[in-house]
Structure 1
Amino acid sequence: MQLRSHSLAVRLTAVIVSILLFVYALAGLALYQSKQQHELHAVITTENLARSLAINVSGILDKVDVGLFAVTSEIERQMATGGIDGALLNGYLKQQQAQIRDCEGLWVADEKGNVPWGTLMTAGKITNITDREYFQRLRENSHLGMVVSKPVIGRTTKAWSVLLSRRINHADGSFAGVALGSLRMMEYFTDMFSTIDVGKQGVIAIRDDEMALIVRYPKVANESGQVGAKLVSAKATAAIRSSPEAGSYTAVAPVDGIERLYSYRKIANYPLYIFVAKSTDDFLAPWRKEVIKTLLLAAIFTLAILVYTRTSYRRETESRKAKRMELFRTVFRTSPDSQVITRLEDGRLLEVNDGFTPVFGWSREDTIGKTVFDIDIWRYPEERHSSVRLLQQNGYFIDREAEFVSKDGRKWPGLISAHVMTLDDTLCIQAIIRDISDRKAAEQQIQRLSFSDQLTGLPNRRLFMDRLEQALISSARHQWMGALMFVDLDDFKSINETLGHGQGDLFLSEIAQRLRRCVREGDTVARLGGDKFALILESQSTNPQEAASHAENIGEKTLREIEQPFELCTSTLHRTCSIGITLFGEQHEDASEPLKRAELAMYQAKAYGRNVLRFFDPQMQASLSARIALEDGLRETIKQHQILLHYQPQVTDEGRITGVEALVRWKDPRGGMISPADFIPLAEASGLIIPLGEQVLEMACQQLAVWADRSGFSHLNIAVNVSTRQFNQDDFVEQIRSVLKRSGANPRRLKLEITESMLVSNVEDVIAKMNALKSIGVGFSLDDFGTGYSSLSYLKRLPLDQLKIDQGFVRDILVDPNDAAIAKTVVALANSMNLSVIAEGVETQAQRDMLAALGCRNYQGYFFGRPMDIDALEEYIEGGIDLVLPLGVAEQVSPP
């Protein structure tokens, strides 16, 4: 008897432990899934907020860019027509600032960095900005658009701000100064962020691409929360490195030690990031309440099981099976989810739990004994069939989404898990169903808020840009012309100031309705923000004049519609609008381009007197079209392998030619030779620099192979410039090896010229690639040495063969002692590192003699020979000039 009692106790204990583990596992699974849902909801919310805020910030910066573009155009026009009129320019700056409104001030700096014109000026004092990083970048680079500065203390405003600037050019394209605007992002965006709910401990911030803080809401008093601070978590750095455009991560903030879920997004076209974070304590608070409830229920359940087991142990062995069944029914019925048990053989319902009736509406008496066909809770029969097949194959499935129907006809989404089990020696299916209507509704609400303007119901800026992109693709595919209208209400601000924002919102809602009435079905009306609207008119005409006429008719109709009186409660309002129109469809372009054109045309309409429409300036359109045509021509030239190479000799102090530099040339059949200064920046910006660089390498190596067997040429090296984008390709080393193998060229005769800018980032990758190519004999020359920011700490690690003195130092070497000192330093540095040194841009005998006196023994420039095609070069070398170069002969080949 004791043995049987002991055996019974052991088996009961095993059963109890198994049941508790099963229940705890179900509870743990439910809690785990619930936590995942809360985390997913937080990720979706923060990602959508980050995306929406990035679009808003991008829109504000784009608006400032349009204003700066208009200022630079006005200054260049004044310079072209007789000079800058200071009074007229200051008036124009005030007008532009009044239109932009987001800028604290607008200024213009001349080419020396002095700021004589602006909307905020200190009497009797002219500020100089030559030491500012953005001024130096724009002065040295003619192809840059708007430059966003790091956070700085404004010398006029005396406050933290971000400066946005554009380059001003003389008529010949040379640097004439910059136009700049100040944006006090801390104050401006703090007001915007304060209206957004991210929880009690949530954070919204803007940082630049070096993670320097620009704006943080809410503010913190310690130093790490101030403007310019770069204190971020390691997880933030790793996340942005792996996914630089957008992403999410969870980390403890080093500023306040609070753990948050962060979502970030790069602001389109600008070196800025928007961060939106929710505290895990905030968004997991409901889940923690679920944990407490679940633990309490588990404790109660455990206590009940122990009491029940103690009582069961005292009963006879014959009742053990009934007791286990009763235990199962208790667990089954008290589950908070809807549960159903059906017989596998015929689908007859054997049992439903207490959670079934509140959700489905069927009572236990209505269901027991019926089949799944008598009481069909599935909205779609095919979902039931697929679930049964899955059970037959695997014996279970977990968390399948399906649509269900309640007794009253309510249709709702659910999450179902099921498994095959044995109950009273009968094969059954136990299904657990959870109503997820609330979760689905929240997801749909988030989706709606992401794409619609909450006030007017119109598409927001994000959806508008997507539709504009689709319209551009459709127009390009079908050769249709479309139009983009930018509508800005005149003097809308006075409505909010006099009648209040509530009346202003009603006014904007009425505007949205009127704009809808002005367009056809299929056209898009969107609110971009504030009192600005945009209309996409997708004409199916291939004639630009017809498309323009159609857009003009819609624009005139819109002007008349807006002019009509507005009845707002107790007030009657009369307002007008200014409209800018641009056409699209003539060429492939990014969606931001027609939007900028239309906005600029709108500002022209406001300048003309308001309540008018204006098309984008044809001269501006022609300039844009010319750039696109130039890019298309370059792409076709590269595709047809029509790029030319000219070569400029490299000469020793003894007059012997040791090699040449390969210089790319483009002869357009329609327009003659095109300057590299025009198409090289275009190739860099468009990505064509990569195939262009590959062709140049191919042609240079083929020429080396030809010279290898010719007397008088086999000793020559060819130097080829390599762009940063080309060098950064993962397979760059393999490209060089392949072209050398195909051409049969001697690797030791190939010299790659790299620039210091290539060494700014990822130095270890650069060194690894250089060492790999150096191992097969390829040489390296550091071009334009001294113009960048070289560090001796890594310069000595580079497997270089030569330093090249930039022509900027050679040009004034006779009159500028600083240039002479730099050239001497470069020569000394090269000698200390066992490197050769060559000076480029040598144009006179005096320059050559000065360089020789400083220790430089190799030269390149017009004094020794201008760039020439291969035939002229070979004739030049075969003429014997390379043996002893008379000092007067080189002057004969210099340009006039």
Structure 2
Amino acid sequence: MSESFQTMLVAGTNPAWLVAAASLLGCLGLGYQLARVSRRYRDVREEQKNHRELIDNLSEGIYRSSPDGRQLSANPALVRLNGYESEAALLAGVKDIAKEWYVDPTRRDAFRAELETNGKVENFISEVYRHKTRERIWISESARLVRDRRTGKPVYYEGSVREITETMKRLKLQDMFEKLTSQLPGGLFQLLRHDNGAFSVLYVSKGLRELLGYDDRTVPDNPNTVLHMVHNDDRAHYLETLKDSGLKLQPWECEFRIHAVDGVEKWLRVAAMPETTKEGIVWHGYLSDISLRKKTEMEIERLAFYDPLTRLPNRRRLFDQVGRQMALCKKSGHRGAILFIDLDNFKTLNDTMGHDVGDVFLKQVADRLQAAVGPQDSVGRIGGDEFVIVLSLNDTAAATATRNAIVAANRVLAALRQEFVLGHMIHHTSASVGVLVFDGSEKGPEVLMKNADMAMYQAKSLGRNNVALFDPKVLRKERKRFRLLNDMRSALVDNNLELHYQPQVNAAGHVVGAEALLRWNHAEHGALSPSDFVGLAEQHGLAELLGRGVIDTSVRTLAQWKDNPRLAGLRMAVNISLKSLRDPDFLDFLHDRLNAHGLDPQRLTLEMTERVLTSDQMQITRRMHELKALGVRLSLDDFGTGYSSIAYLKKLPFDELKIDGSFIADIESSESNRALVQTMLDMASTLGLSAVAEHVQTQQQELLLKSSGCSYFQGWLYGRAMTVTDFASYVLDRNPASVLKFPNSRQGA
């Protein structure tokens, strides 16, 4: 044992030393405790400092407030949110949070009620003022209520404030957007085409889902689902336009039909703009329902391009179809054909049985024509009784195509020859069909249709119920007629048509009148007779104008003769057409012309053929009596060539008959013709009519006619038609001072 240790043992038994040791140990313990407390205090202060710095540097506002609404503390973020520069300024400025901060003061009561009930509030959204600037902003507030641990009374509450103004604006815009898209008649979408060619749907609006027939819970995220809704006839066009838009990065526009999920067929229109992104091409687009517009368009198209009675394509639509067929033929090398069909005697059915029966008949004709051709062929109606069939032939050889077209035309005739049941009546009809084969190299649909029309008229000229193939010779003839028609229009305007006058003589050989015959001295074709152009004028609506011109010139010529005593007693015979007789203004025109020149109406004789009398007898009879009441003479021209009954002729106010020259030509050699002429002359005498023999060319004919009782003659034996000047000279040379005149009116009528 060491000496030091022994000393300690000895000292340890000393009480004083023990007290001192105990005191020393106590001090050491106290110092240690103080050191520990001091260290803990410094740690707490450091932690408080760090906590404060954390709060001060938070982007959210942190605060502490008293239950009565006074602000107790605020971090810098909350200070800035309220528009202040320091916490002190904020605390000094805010007196009552409820009244000064919230736009709607009741929101503070709702906040406190929830806080007191639950002890906390989370994400309480309110619109508040930025306290200093009074700018309105939106905040999200969370807080907890701190109570006294002993009494449980609320001491204060503390929490955080986060400005969400931009979020609210965005939500508001989104809400507006959703409302807008839900109210739009269409829908919005975003479609992505990935670089690997796959498609995916990025966004569809509610309106688009409704368009496609989906409910609100279903999102059509598979583009193929929508593709399969597209109508089979429109799917290729749909894909082609989408592909073209992606390749050219141009707007995608397409109209197509779909069968929606709910089974409804709709017309839709897509309009989308492509955008290149890192994922691929994104189309931002709008889909709209255009079913109503399409329905309207189709109705307009039906009215514009389809015959309302038969529902067949009309003239305009047929021209389009002919044009498309021409383009197809030119591309494929095949040929097509046009069958131009005119129903024979349809007007008679319509006029006698009524338009309702005629309409039923036309509908049945349309059905038969459609049944007589193939599905690739087109049938249309272009006029009252005119139909056209456009044939799509798979033939490249002209001969084969022509044969097949004629076979089709005969099939049409066979279908139309079968009886039609029209209500309680059975009707039989026939048709004239013009056939034109084409290869697409022609000038256009108009030319083809015109040529097919001419072929149809060729068929009519063959006696109806016939087929005629277009002949280019007819085209050349029609071109000549067309040029002649234009020249005649100009001649009528420029008064280049003139009248020549053929003498009419009595039994003594003296001139008692003349027949006015129209002549046209054409610059290219020379002198033209009425047979060369009068028929053309009637076909193209110039007959009335032509007839009035003849009447006007004839009346002026009579007025000139009136001034010469040797010519004053002459009559003028003028041919009038059915068009003139039907003209409601013709009577007034004639009356005005006669009065304008102060002429005796008896000097004018109006000639008409038996053909005129067969058309609408009641109207013609009434008009003849009106003309007779005016004072003019009436003559039945070309008598013997028509089918007028004697009883009917007796009722008409004719003054004379003109025996047709065909009977006079053979009177010398034909006993039957002599007997017929004798019968005509006897009948004229019985009816009290004067008789004029036409086309007298020989003296022997004249002698035979005189022996049969004929008193008036006209023909080359006495003179050809001559100009007004030559005729006047002819009369003055041939006639003595006084001649026997025509009887003034009907004898014994």
TM-score bracket, normalised by the shorter chain, equals: 0.3 to 0.5
Q: Which has the larger radius of gyration?
A: 2
Under a length normalisation based on structure 2, what TM-score does the superposition of the two structures give?
0.43
Under a length normalisation based on structure 1, what TM-score does the superposition of the two structures give?
0.36
